Amino acid sequence: MHLGLIGYGNIAHTLMGVLANEGAKPSKVTVLCTPDHVGETRARLARDFDGQGQVVAETGALIDAMPDLVVECAGHEGVRQHATAVLRAGIETVIVSIGSLADQPLHEEVLDAARAGSTRFILPAGAIGGIDVLSALKPSGIEAVSYTGRKPPGAWKGTPADKMHDLDALAVETVIFSGNAREAAIQYPKNANVAATLALAGLGFEKTGVRLVADPGVSGNVHEYSVRSAAAEFTVRIEGKPSPDNPKTSVTTVYSVAREIFNRCREQAI
Ligand X SMILES: NC(=O)c1ccc[n+]([C@@H]2O[C@H](COP(=O)([O-])OP(=O)(O)OC[C@H]3O[C@@H](n4cnc5c(N)ncnc54)[C@H](O)[C@@H]3O)[C@@H](O)[C@H]2O)c1
Residues involved in catalysis: 223
69 in helix, strand or coil? strand
Residue count, binding to ligand X (CB under 6 A): 31
98 is a contact residue toward ligand X (CB under 6 A): yes
For residue 43, the one-letter residue type is A
| Binding pattern for the stretch 150-189 against ligand X, x by CB under 6 A and - elsewhere | ----------------------------------------
* Count of C-beta atoms within a 10 Å radius of residue 157: 13
Q: How far is the CB of 9 from ligand X (least distance, A)?
A: 2
**Residue 162: closest CA among 90, 265, 248:** 248
Binding mask 25-54 for ligand X (x = CB under 6 A): -------xxx--x-----------------
SS3 at position 45: helix
**Which residues, 113 to 142, sit near ligand X by CB under 6 A?**
126-127
Q: Give the relative orientation of helices 10-21 and 252-265 as an angle to the nearest 10 degrees.
A: 50
User: Which x/- pattern, by CB under 6 A, does the window 7-26 give for ligand X?
Assistant: xxxxx---------------
Instruction: Output 98 or 265, the one with its CB closest to ligand X.
Output: 98
Q: Are 148 and 175 a contacting pair, CB within 8 Å?
A: no
Distance, in Å, from the CA atom of 93 to the CA atom of 120, rounded to the nearest integer, reads 7
Listed ranges 46-54, 77-85, 155-163, 178-186: which one lies at the site for ligand X (CB under 6 A): 77-85
Neighbouring residues of 91: CB distance < 8 A, sequence distance ≥ 6 = 4, 63, 66, 67, 68, 69, 70, 117, 119
The residue whose Cβ lies closest to ligand X is 9
Which residue lies nearer to ligand X by CB, 23 or 105?
Answer: 105
Cα separation values, 20 from 4, 25, 26, 95, 258, Å: 16, 5, 9, 22, 11
Residues making contact with ligand X (CB under 6 A): 6-11, 32-34, 37, 73-75, 77-78, 81-82, 96-99, 126-127, 190, 193-194, 197, 243, 246, 249, 253
